Amino acid sequence: MNIGDVATRSGLPAKTIRYYEDIGLVRPQREANGYRRFREKDLHKLNFLGRARSLGFSIEDCRSLLALYEDEDRASGDVKRVAEQHLSAIDRKLAELNAMRGTLARLAEACSGDQKPDCPISDLASAPEG
């Protein structure tokens, strides 16, 4: 498959596929004319990368997961550990977002929304956090 074929089949832009090649996540074969030739295993990796990135895994997490995927002697606990670390990071982000939402909701509630200039949202520097 050429890069256009694998882009269509994986749903990833060709630019992303070239980037993944540049950083060593996929290694397509090269023809004599220098064109990339992707194999089915490359397509599987690209599908995996697309799904992992859509779940928020970092490039380095993807690199670790691909190494585990390619290691036939891997323990499932190693894969689970990477997933659980990512879940913990998501939980931290959710807690931060919930705290931000709570603060903004309180500020919006305290704003009268009338023609007067007084509104706690316009003075965020002195607004209480939490």
- Look up tokens 């070239």; give the residue: 18
Mean per-residue pLDDT, 71-88: 92
Taking only the tens place, the pLDDT of each residue in 14-24 is 999 999 999 99
Residue 127 has pLDDT above 70, yes or no: no
Taking only the tens place, the pLDDT of each residue in 28-45 is 999 999 899 999 999 999
Q: For 68, phi and psi rounded to 5 degrees? A: -65, -40
**Cβ neighbours of residue 12 closer than 8 Å, sequence gap 6 or more:** 46, 49, 50
Q: Are 35 and 50 in contact (CB under 8 A)?
A: no
CA distance 121 to 85: 35
pLDDT of residue 115: 80
Q: Are 103 and 130 in contact (CB under 8 A)?
A: yes
pLDDT: which is higher, 27 or 122: 27
Candidates 20, 22, 93; CA nearest to 62 is 20
CA distance 23 to 105: 43
